[in-house]
Amino acid sequence: MRNRQHFWRRLPGGNRVSMGLCRRLALYCPEFCSRQLHDPIFVVGFNNGGKSRLVSLLEKELVACTYPDEGNAEFWFRGYFPWAEKRPDFGPIWSDPDKFISKILPMHSDSFMRSRAYLGAYQWLMGTQNIINDSGMLGAISPDMFSSFPNAKFVHVIRDGRVASYLSAKREWCNIMRIPEVYQSRNCPIKFQDVLSKMINYWAWTVNRVQSIKAIAPDKVYEIRYEEWCKDPTQIFHELVSFMGIESKSSTDLSKLNLTNMNQLIHEEFTLQDLTTMSESAGKTLAQLGYI
């Protein structure tokens, strides 16, 4: 199994070539590829939540393959991502997540067949028993995925919503300032405080979407707090590996891993108005998770 992964990774342009081949396999042999998908693990979590760092570690330490792209533009949100480039006739997901999801779900009336085919093709190419796919947007459709991927497990990375939302809002606001007329034409807010309010609402909405799965099937969801992950990475890692049921390449000791909790540094940037906006918009969820 490992030899196959090593072959594709050592091949010049390995990820590009393997993903291109996956596209063709999924297009011409969708049913075959769908049957090749076994025990997928979806890593979900809000942007700027520490998810990418975790996935990089998993890719290095586990006997599993990680799909080399989030897949948002390829199959999960094809035609709607990246939003500023596709420019559909409704706003980005953070502006009105319920509306966004109601628009894209008809694409998946085939029970996510395209997504299954892409991931199954890649898993078959890599020859591994498990495949990991991560995306900051997957939390939005996780309840729908739960019914269409019955053998899947979900790893949910949560960070203080004020930090994750503030960082995401700053980045999105910069995007808005580049093409404000596009966002205004879709009834999106332009002022930073309004964007921040929408963003932390989206954070709370995403958290609740994933936790709705956990309430039904707690054995299918493993929740990681960014703050606990920074404090004791080794313990969290071994619990996660046990949950996934994937073989680790070694007895990993992460005590020397440079994982610094950066929350306090970001907290120092908050103005009183920022704190008020976030508390008024998502105070209930923040309090439930112990962040305020």
State the pLDDT at residue 177. 95
State the pLDDT at residue 37. 94
- Residue 145 near residue 216, CB atoms below 8 Å: no
d(CA 230, CA 176): 32
- Residue 285 near residue 207, CB atoms below 8 Å: yes
**This prediction's pTM:** 0.91
pLDDT per residue rounded down to tens, the chain (292 residues): 445 555 555 555 557 787 888 889 999 999 999 999 999 999 999 999 888 888 888 877 776 788 988 999 988 998 899 999 999 999 999 999 999 999 988 877 677 888 999 999 999 988 888 899 999 899 999 999 988 899 999 999 999 999 999 999 999 999 999 999 999 999 999 999 999 999 999 999 999 999 999 999 999 999 999 999 988 888 888 899 889 888 776 665 666 666 789 999 999 999 999 999 999 999 999 999 999 8
Number of Cβ atoms within 10 Å of the Cβ of 173: 19
Could you tell me the sign of the dihedral formed by the alpha carbons of 284, 286, 288, 291, in that order?
negative
State the pLDDT at residue 251. 60
Q: Which domain holds residue 140?
A: 2-288
Provide the residue type at 4 as one letter.
Answer: R
CA 187 from centre of chain: 26
Task: Give the largest Cα separation in the chain, rounded.
Answer: 56
Could you tell me the sign of the dihedral formed by the alpha carbons of 139, 142, 144, 148, in that order?
positive
d(CA 118, CA 221): 23
Provide the residue type at 94 as one letter.
Answer: W
Domain count, the chain: 1
Side by side, which strands form the sheet with 65-66?
Answer: 65-66, 131-135, 40-45, 153-158, 221-225
Q: Helical H runs in the chain? A: 2-10, 14-28, 30-35, 51-61, 83-86, 97-104, 113-126, 142-148, 161-178, 180-185, 192-216, 226-231, 233-244, 263-267, 272-288
State the pLDDT at residue 157. 96
Provide the residue type at 83 as one letter.
Answer: W
Report the CATH number at residue 139.
3.40.50
Q: Of 175, 197, 190, nearest to 84 (Cα)?
A: 175
